[in-house]
Amino acid sequence: MGILFALLTALCWGLYNLFVRRGRDGIDPGAGYLLTLLLNAGANAAFTLLPLPGSGAPGFGPVPVVLFVLAGLTTTLLGRWLYFESVFTLGPSRASAWKNASPVYTLFIAWLLLAERPTPFTVLGVLATLAGMYLLAREQAESERRGTLVGAAGAAAGHRGNVVGLLLGVGSGVAFASGIMLRKAGLNVWPDAAMGAAIGAAAALVGWLPVSVRRGEVGALLRASGPGLRYFFLAGVFSSLAQLFVFLSLRLTPSTVTHVVTSLEPVFTMMLSPLVLGGRERLNLALVRAVALITVGAALVSL
């Protein structure tokens, strides 16, 4: 069952990626981001009323609450904001590939902080992921040269936009990797998945709201209308489900298994891109190869 929840997480994030990119054409991106956070907080609060695995489990206390708050700030707030920006710069398939190398980022964090020794599978996974990252960076440069890189800045972004998008994608991956570790640590103390997701979503909203007010995104959201609003609403729905599903998966299976299955996110993004985006994102064989290598590498690292 935990594997199914992880698979649903990957599918929901894949759809989120595409709806965010589609919604940007009709609404201020900051207002759209705020809408997704509002929906996340409301939906995950409602999920706590459902009889889900772990509902009402003992273990409530300051330690798990702090861990869930930190997880929400690193993933839903920081990680998703960085990823949000990378989608507009690189397109959803490329951005999700950079983000979903997160098991490798987790590994490097563990090496630096915990002095963990890598296994042969880990070394192979790192090499495969690094090769995929190299191919992805080269593919982005080629797409930029040909004028086929579709994103917020598009082909006009040039080399600077490509590098910024890469850094945003990697930064989001590091934030998500850190957040998953915090989520798992919190669930080890208080195994209530729905409450963990709700606390994290609320923390992210509280953390972002002052910034959003200062940037005028609240007013922009109140004035928003049209199809862009609908697409960001769908992005909020699917990201809310993804947050719940990943907590349920982490509760029922080892975090390594969750890492492996959720690393399929860019595959779902690419598969569904023609249906949701049409010609807004152009896929090619080089991109498919790069995403496949990164996905396989992430899986090997997690074994």
Check pLDDT > 50 for residue 276.
yes
Closest Cα partner for 197 from 32, 47, 23? 47
Q: Report yes or no: 229 and 27 within 8 Å, Cβ to Cβ.
A: yes
Q: Summarize the confidence of residues 34-39 as an average pLDDT.
A: 96
Check pLDDT > 60 for residue 159.
no
Rounded Cα distance between 197 and 268, Å, is 23
Q: Report yes or no: 258 and 250 within 8 Å, Cβ to Cβ.
A: yes
**pTM metric for this prediction:** 0.80
Q: pLDDT tens, 160-189?
A: 556 787 788 888 888 888 888 889 899 999
Q: What is the pLDDT of residue 287?
A: 77
Closest Cα partner for 32 from 93, 85, 73, 70? 85
For residues 143 and 64, which has the higher predicted lDDT (pLDDT)? 64
DSSP state of 50: S
Q: pLDDT tens, 82-94?
A: 888 887 777 777 7
Q: Report yes or no: 112 and 184 within 8 Å, Cβ to Cβ.
A: no
Q: What is the dihedral of CA 60, 65, 66, 72, to 10 degrees?
A: 150
pLDDT, mean over the chain:
83
Q: What is the pLDDT of residue 167?
A: 83
Q: Summarize the confidence of residues 214-228 as an average pLDDT.
A: 90
Q: Which residues are CB-neighbours of 32 under 8 A, at least 6 positions away?
A: 20, 23, 24, 221, 224, 228, 229, 231, 232, 235
Q: Of 12-16, 117-121, 140-144, which has the strongest mean pLDDT?
A: 12-16
Q: Summarize the confidence of residues 85-108 as an average pLDDT.
A: 74
Rounded Cα distance between 224 and 208, Å, is 19
Check pLDDT > 60 for residue 158.
no
Q: pLDDT tens, 140-155?
A: 667 655 554 444 444 4
Q: What is the pLDDT of residue 216?
A: 93
Q: Report yes or no: 97 and 294 within 8 Å, Cβ to Cβ.
A: yes
Q: What is the pLDDT of residue 236?
A: 96
The full set of domain ranges for the chain reads 2-302
Rounded Cα distance between 172 and 100, Å, is 9
